[in-house]
Amino acid sequence: MKVLPFKIPKPDFDALIFQEDKGHLFYDKLHQHEEIQISLIIEGEGTLIVGDTINYYKTGDVLVIGSHIPHVFKSDQTSNLKSHMLTLFFTETSFGVQFFDLEELKELKPFFKRSKHGFKVSSHKKVIGVLFEQLESASKLKRFIILLELLQLLSKSGYTSLSSFIYNKMYTDIEGHRMRDVFEYTMNHFNEDISLTTISEVANMTKNAFCKYFKKRTNKTYITFLNELRVEHACKLLLVNKDMPIVDIAEMTGFRNISNFNRQFKSVKMMSPSVFKALKTTTVF
């Protein structure tokens, strides 16, 4: 099975796909698919990269990932939680090319606009959860009706975008494997020293070519992406391990001196690690 593009397996005549993922880990390879994805995290936590942006997911999150957006779920292997997710997949043309242009469905337009960059839902989550619980035993017609109810809720819910930049072209197989290898290596080794020479070798490119390649596809430098990934992991440690010294968290997340850690953290979160820790905020997840 090709990693990029990724094909959602479905019967030939099914327009709407319901999928349950349950196990120790979610599918953890960078991939993209034509279908829009609406997911409820029943259990689990970890890193979610969507487009150019590092996010975290946790139990209870409702996530929408738009058509053709590269993304990867990296389950937290240190967590005792299993990985369990319910998902609906469909495209804007699944039910007919002009179906969502019908006057009766115009109020769903905000959903499709938000989905372009992906989004995490911040309201109506209990109602959305109840609808998801009905999907497994529902008939295909009932699932379609539930989808419309979900789209109506998601069109008016509070939300935060998952990505700020989306590369508008489809990845080729070669590009997909290359970006997958880069992301996978980075997520597995972010707490180590990663030089541009090292990551360029992972991508099988020269250093200069890789820097231009990565910047074009993510709208940021690789070092910026790496630092953002490290800071997001530091945020989690600051909240979970409240008694751990900040200097130890800096070292655990790949920063070799506290000054650089403080500088990079403030650049990403607009506040110092100590202020972030004191606020005990959970909104970053």
Residues 125-162 pLDDT 10s: 999 999 999 999 999 999 999 999 999 999 999 999 99
- What's the CATH number of domain 17-161, 1.10.10.10, 2.60.120.280, 3.30.365.10, 2.60.40.1180? 2.60.120.280
Give the model's pLDDT for residue 80. Answer: 80
Q: How confident is the model at residue 164 (pLDDT cuts 50, 70, 90)?
A: confident
Look at the pTM and tell me if it is higher than 0.95: no
Output the average pLDDT for the chain.
90
- Residue 158: how many other CB atoms lie within 10 Å: 11
Report the topology of domain 190-279: Arc Repressor Mutant, subunit A (1.10.10)
Give the model's pLDDT for residue 170. Answer: 72
| Domains of the chain, residue spans | 17-161, 190-279
| CA atoms 89, 95, 97, 99: torsion sign | negative
pLDDT at residue 51 tops 50: yes
10 is written with which tokens?
């479905």
Give the model's pLDDT for residue 128. Answer: 97
In which element (H, E) is residue 53 found?
strand 53-57
- What 3-state DSSP class applies to 217? helix
pLDDT at residue 237 tops 70: yes
- Alpha-carbon distance of 71 to 162, in angstroms, equals 10
